[in-house]
Chains A and B, each alone.
Chain A
């Protein structure tokens, strides 16, 4: 087979000294789906940015269709026939689908006036050609994520891309939408397109790709045919060691109930009931998993538990103590900790240092401060200890959080929360968007906390995670707990799936 794209010896050093690509060479064969996998911070996105002209490498050569090319900016890449579908959509929300598609190469009636009709025709044409239906006159902001992504793909196809780079395209999609995307990719392959697919979800890689290239620590570890590799092999190559996907052993010492939730109800600003009579309890030494498709009331429930929102009805108890409507600060003083789903928004202050992020919830207590003064010497020592214990990859405790990779930022959050000696841990999507290595560490830390007698409430859309960690599982659907499983042995994700989709109701 002919290689459509070849990169040789790419070296990329960022201005802050991070070496993201250490002499990377990759060859992508024409008309294949080529998966590029690796942990967060392994350099895969950087490599693609170099190929697409967003980043300039210090060294190395790129060949496209056999010719050496100089890609200075995305415009050059597009002209060559390379298209990229970014993780964050490059769409203008208030413009229509057609307007977004033709943006930059608008059809004109005379020199200045837009030919709106032509724009719609172009949209229809490309959408029919690749069997990707989109509504041409709808505004982007009114469309679901899966369709937005389809518009992005059409945008790339309209610019005659032969090679499509998709940067973690499934991270924003539901399983159903992912399935549709995969059909699309297979269809595109039939049209002779080549696809580079960046991901760290092993199942998907196995399902969709022909070839797999694994990156670790800025280097290419191996490139192989996908059918030669098992999921286990891929994860071994990615991390460099074995990762366990087995269910963890159940907790031995289950104690008294720590968290009690009584008949919580909540109605949102639009008058639709988001939570309906939620009741459960979590005992010391237990992990209770809440499974459900996102948007079924999990966010509101978590916000109520952590004091960010008030419930309309119902009570919360920490042991015997009523903790209704306490402020987040008061709740934290009572040792209720929170690992938020959106770490960049609610978990860290990204422009400040690791040290400052570690102490935000405890700066006012000794020994972190004495009177009005912060004890920076102690804070530094304490931070270094946390960095070591939680295996955070950072060159200094005074580094800013935004210089870390996603997985390491999550470790910063987890380190702060779990080092507070928590009684109750609310872990909302604690491993979303982080690599398998960091995921395993976070899982182990949660299990350690459980074994030390914390009550853990785990909210996740990832069923493997729920099944792996939980001592009990609840399923939420449209604001109601529709199923409870007190015995986990032998439960499969498809069993939970029926309840999550509202097809079945259990005894609750």
Chain B
């Protein structure tokens, strides 16, 4: 256990937590904003895959990182729009529609990958771009803290700033107020002339935007290639994280950080002589345990509330 403890207490571990948290934090913000509007987007898995794939392919063909970013975001927002179209216009169940989108995204990206890279597994043969690492001036000079906070991928900083953006959006803007009102009592919102479907659509587009950033980070920062189903359940962990965080900015940040920590531990356990099947299991088992505790707490709360009435 000695070497493991040493490595966990090193600044590199703190650095790893933030790095690993990034592709969870983005989709968690997306899920949270859609949940606040009362139409939860569980198509994050598919959205991330599509954007991750698009970013790699566009950057491979154009060698232009801005175009890759733009295309990835466009695809993510489109996923949100398609989900909104199924759910709000065609009145399909949002969960079933999202599952369909997730399956579509998984199959479609593998198919296209095979067409372009002649490989059903990864895009390593394609020379695609990555987003740059940023070294924070001044902060990087501070011992330990500098090592943890500085030198991350650009998108990791964007993710942390997104929390502030989310706070501002939902508490300080008209759209945010309307999103919350629609989520809590759609009839009330409608009765004062708010177009409920439009607000829900906006929230799905925003959640698609954050899903896209999560996907782009995976294939153009976290690693430098696209792999089949590379999201590995992060889109669903985001649903859990959003619930644990109460769909609110600070809660979302803390729960994402928590899942980042758990994932980092599972990676740091790998060199030990534990079966890798076991260490890979840790994040998912933790998700189930965390959700169980969360549900128990919520039930207690509800009961206490019922007792009051």
Contact = CB atoms under 8 A, between A and B. Distances in A.
Nearest to B175: A112
B180 interface: yes
8 contacts: A74-B193, A78-B193, A92-B181, A100-B188, A103-B177, A103-B194, A114-B176, A295-B309
Contacts of B303: 269
Contacts of B191: 74, 84, 86, 90
Nearest to A300: B307
Contacts of A108: 174
A181 to B, nearest CB: 20
B189 A114 contact: no
Interface residues of B, number: 26
A49 to B, nearest CB: 12
Given A90-B188, A104-B194, 17 more contacts: A78-B192, A78-B193, A88-B187, A89-B188, A91-B185, A92-B189, A99-B181, A103-B181, A103-B188, A103-B194, A108-B174, A112-B174, A113-B172, A114-B172, A114-B173, A159-B192, A270-B307
B185 A93 contact: yes
B187 A93 contact: no
Interface in B262-309: 300, 303-304, 306-309
Contact of B180 (A88, A91, A94, A113): A94
B64 interface: no
B152 interface: no
Contacts of A269: 300, 303-304, 306-307
B307 to A, nearest CB: 4
Interface in B167-226: 172-178, 180-181, 184-185, 187-194
Interface residues of A, number: 32
Contacts of A99: 177, 181
A331 interface: no
A320 interface: no
9 pairs of A and B residues whose beta carbons are closest in the complex: A104-B192, A268-B307, A90-B188, A92-B184, A90-B191, A75-B193, A92-B181, A269-B307, A92-B185
Contact of B192 (A103, A114, A295): A103
A202 B147 CA distance: 76
A272 B190 CA distance: 40
Contacts of A270: 304, 307-308
A427 B297 CA distance: 34
Contacts of B306: 269
Nearest to B183: A92
B174 A92 contact: no
- Residue of B175, B177, B187, B309 with highest tally of chain A CB at under 10 A: B177
A105 interface: yes
A301 to B, nearest CB: 14
Contacts of B185: 90-93
Given A78-B193, A112-B173, A94 B308 contact: no
Contacts of A159: 192
Contacts of A103: 177-178, 181, 188-189, 192, 194
A48 to B, nearest CB: 14
A278 interface: no
A254 interface: no
Contacts of B300: 269
Given A90-B191, A103-B194, A95 B174 contact: no
Nearest to B174: A106
Nearest to A158: B192
A90 B172 contact: no
Contacts of A86: 191
Interface string A81-123: 0001010111111110001100111101000111010000000
Contacts of A200: none
Contacts of A268: 307
Given A78-B193, A104-B193, A92 B188 contact: yes
A155 interface: yes
Contacts of B184: 92-95
A140 to B, nearest CB: 9
Interface string A265-302: 00011101010000000000000000000010000000
Nearest to A74: B191
A495 to B, nearest CB: 28
A45 B187 CA distance: 17
A269 B301 CA distance: 10
A93 to B, nearest CB: 6
Interface in A475-507: none
A94 B246 CA distance: 13
Contacts of B174: 106, 108, 112-114
Contacts of B180: 92, 94-95
Contacts of B193: 74-75, 78, 104
Contacts of A295: 309
Contacts of B181: 92, 95, 99-100, 103
A274 B308 CA distance: 10
